[in-house]
């Protein structure tokens, strides 16, 4: 739930950064993905209204490396002055700790987590030529194919692979993982029937589904995607098999409490922007606001849960 704003919020003086219109006074929002990717477009959709709420310029800084680790490291090492933020997410804060040792930051101790913004599941898709028309059909097909079955994810997107391994463990199947460099290559492999299935965000998959090149079967979130209510969540077939992506704002450890409160309230304001809500709907996410303390506790819970899942799937470093 997005909390109500305090009266006069937008009229408050910009104590955080003054007028902050010059680039060297701007807030740098570090994103652990390349420009033009789904998470980058999501971050840019938040950046402008968030900056307006703070009367500041927000610059998106792309640091695509190792599942968001480079972006997170950049913020963890920055001064806690309110001018460096991480577009924090499942990848660098819960998945990367399982696969990269030593990690150059601590998911909890290196940051001041300000607010969670949104969450959403991944989508399981098959080629249009696949005999599978629903999730049970895919499982039956994988069992029939046995060791010859395979699935695709983009390199660095360990969350997609983790979701696939969770599904296979629950279903008792064994498909081989085929990593591709980019989501575009995954889509090509999927639409040309090179792999049995793929897992990715709804945003890049849905256009190919509309064109009849692929078929969408299920989502990995706890509930159905509001924009695709016909797709069942995995948990309907396999209770407890849930993996959701989430995003938020995080600052370096030590950000003063007054600045924390100001930024958390600006994040809540941002989620009320109709353009932001439209952007989230297109990307397959839903607003899921949490203020700082609740967001920190949520990340701690996710870190514990993902650690157990990755260990069980054999994906830890």
pLDDT at 217 over 60: yes
Q: What share of the chain is helix, strand, coil (3-state, %, to 5)?
A: 45, 20, 35
The verdict on residue 70 lying in a domain is yes
The CATH number that applies at residue 218 is 3.40.190.10
Residues 171 and 38 grouped into a single domain: no
Residues 167 and 112 grouped into a single domain: no
The verdict on residue 4 lying in a domain is no
The verdict on residue 250 lying in a domain is yes
Residues 109 and 130 grouped into a single domain: no
Span 79-125, pLDDT tens digits: 999 999 999 999 999 999 988 889 999 999 999 999 999 998 899 99
Residues 269 and 173 grouped into a single domain: no
Residues 127 and 269 grouped into a single domain: no
Widest CA span of the chain, in angstroms?
Answer: 65
Count of domains in the chain?
Answer: 2
Q: SS3 for 11? A: helix
Residues 36 and 67 grouped into a single domain: yes
Span 168-186, pLDDT tens digits: 999 999 999 999 988 889 9
For residue 47, what is the enclosing H or E element? helix 38-54
Structural domain that includes position 191:
123-236
The CATH number that applies at residue 36 is 3.40.190.150
pLDDT at 192 over 70: yes
The verdict on residue 261 lying in a domain is yes
The verdict on residue 2 lying in a domain is no
Domain boundary among the residues 236, 257, 281 is at 236
- pTM recorded for the entire structure: 0.83
Neighbours of 4 (CB within 10 A): 9
């Amino acid at each position: 739930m997005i909390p109500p704003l305090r009266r006069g919020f937008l009229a408050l003086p910009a104590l955080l950064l003054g007028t902050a219109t010059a680039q060297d006074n701007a807030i740098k929002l570090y994103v652990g993905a390349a420009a033009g990717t789904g998470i980058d477009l999501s971050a840019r959709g938040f950046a402008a209204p968030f900056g307006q709420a703070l009367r500041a310029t927000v610059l998106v800084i792309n640091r695509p490396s190792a599942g968001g680790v480079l972006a997170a490291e950049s913020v963890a090492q920055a001064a806690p002055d309110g001018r460096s933020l991480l577009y924090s997410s499942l990848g660098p804060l819960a998945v990367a700790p399982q696969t990269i040792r030593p990690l150059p930051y601590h998911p909890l101790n290196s940051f001041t987590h300000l607010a969670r913004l949104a969450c959403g599941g991944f989508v399981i898709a098959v080629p249009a030529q696949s005999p599978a028309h629903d999730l049970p059909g895919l499982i039956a097909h994988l069992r029939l194919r046995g060791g010859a079955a395979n699935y695709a994810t983009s390199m660095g997107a360990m969350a997609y692979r983790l979701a696939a391994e969770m599904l296979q463990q629950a279903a008792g199947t064994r498909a081989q993982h085929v990593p591709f460099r980019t989501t575009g290559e995954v889509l090509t492999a999927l639409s040309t029937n090179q792999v049995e299935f793929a897992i990715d965000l709804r945003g890049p998959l849905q256009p190919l589904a509309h064109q009849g090149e692929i078929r969408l079967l299920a989502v990995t979130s706890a509930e159905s995607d509001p924009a695709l209510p016909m797709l069942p969540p995995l948990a309907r077939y396999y209770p407890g098999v849930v993996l959701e992506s989430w995003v938020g704002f995080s600052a370096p450890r030590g950000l003063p409490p007054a600045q924390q409160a100001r930024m958390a309230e600006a994040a809540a304001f941002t989620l009320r922007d109709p353009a932001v809500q439209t952007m989230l709907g297109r990307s397959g996410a839903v607003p899921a606001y949490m203020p700082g303390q609740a967001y920190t506790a949520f990340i701690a819970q996710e870190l514990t849960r993902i650690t157990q899942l990755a260990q069980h799937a054999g994906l830890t470093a």
